[in-house]
Amino acid sequence: MKYLKFLALLIFSFAWRQNVSAQAPAYQISATIGGWEGESVYLGYRRGDKVFSRDTAELKDGRFTFEGSEPLPSGIYLVLMPPENKFFEFVVMPGEQHFSMAVQAPDFSSSLTFNGSPENRLLLEYQSYMSEQVAASKQLQEELTNAAGKEEKTALEKKLEEISQAVRSHQNELAAQHPGSYAALLIKAFQEPVIPDPPAGDDGTFRWQFFKNHYFDGFDFSQEVFVNSPYLKQKIDYYISDKLTAQLPDSVIVAVDYILEKAQANEEVFRWTLPYLLNKYFVPEVMGLDAVFVHISDKYYATGRADWVSEESRKKITDDAYMIRGVLLGKKAADVLVQPYDRKSYSFSDSLISLYDVKADYTVVFLWKPGCPHCKKTTGELIPFYNEWKDKGVEIFSITSANQSELDKAISDINYEKMPWIVTADPYMRARALQKFYGVSLPKIYLLDKDKKIIASRIGPEQLPKIIGEHKRRLAEENR
pLDDT, residue 370, reads 97
Q: How far apart are CA 448 and CA 435, in angstroms?
A: 17
pLDDT, residue 17, reads 45
Neighbours of 301 (CB within 10 A): 22
pLDDT, residue 274, reads 98
Share of the chain above pLDDT 70, in %: 95
Between 460 and 152, residue with greater pLDDT: 460
Residue 7 has pLDDT above 70, yes or no: no
Least confident stretch, 148-152, 290-294, 420-424, 466-470? 148-152
Q: How far apart are CA 242 and CA 212, in angstroms?
A: 12
pLDDT band at 110 (very low <50, low <70, confident <90, very high): confident
pTM over cut 0.85: yes
Residue 22 has pLDDT above 60, yes or no: no
Average pLDDT over all residues of the chain: 93
Helical segments of 81-149, H only:
118-146
What angle is formed at CA 364 by the lines to CA 342 and CA 355, rounded to 5 degrees?
Answer: 55
pLDDT, residue 130, reads 94
Share of the chain above pLDDT 90, in %: 87
Q: Which domains does the chain have, with CATH numbers?
A: 27-116 (2.60.40.1120), 200-325 (no CATH), 337-478 (3.40.30.10)
pLDDT band at 343 (very low <50, low <70, confident <90, very high): very high
Q: Closest Cα partner for 175 from 162, 191, 159, 155? A: 191
- Tell me the mean pLDDT in the region 436-448: 96
Do 210 and 244 contact (CB within 8 A), yes or no? no
- Tell me the mean pLDDT in the region 320-329: 97
For the chain, what is the largest distance between any 2 Cα atoms, rounded to a whole number of angstroms?
110
pLDDT band at 147 (very low <50, low <70, confident <90, very high): confident
pLDDT, residue 149, reads 83
- What 3-state DSSP class applies to 107? coil
- Tell me the mean pLDDT in the region 41-56: 95
- Tell me the mean pLDDT in the region 58-72: 95
pLDDT, residue 16, reads 40
pLDDT, residue 10, reads 39
Instruction: Read off the pLDDT of residues 415-432 as tens digits, 9 standing for 90 and up.
Output: 999 999 999 999 999 999
Instruction: Read off the pLDDT of residues 237-288 as tens digits, 9 standing for 90 and up.
Output: 999 999 999 999 999 999 999 999 999 999 999 999 999 999 999 999 999 9
Helix count (H) and strand count (E) of the chain?
14, 16
- Tell me the mean pLDDT in the region 302-323: 97
DSSP output for 199-260: PTT--S-HHHHHHHHTTTTT--TT-GGGTTSSHHHHHHHHHHSTTTS-SSHHHHHHHHHHHH
- Tell me the mean pLDDT in the region 351-371: 97
Instruction: Read off the pLDDT of residues 187-213 as tens digits, 9 standing for 90 and up.
Output: 999 999 999 999 998 998 999 999 999
Which letter does DSSP use for residue 96 in this model?
B
Phi, psi of 69, rounded to the nearest 5 degrees: -85, -10
Task: Work out whether the CA dihedral 426, 428, 430, 432 comes out positive or negative.
Answer: positive
Residue 15 has pLDDT above 60, yes or no: no
- Tell me the mean pLDDT in the region 346-358: 96
pLDDT, residue 21, reads 43
Q: Closest Cα partner for 326 from 247, 434, 200, 461? A: 434
pLDDT, residue 20, reads 41
Which letter does DSSP use for residue 8 in this model?
H
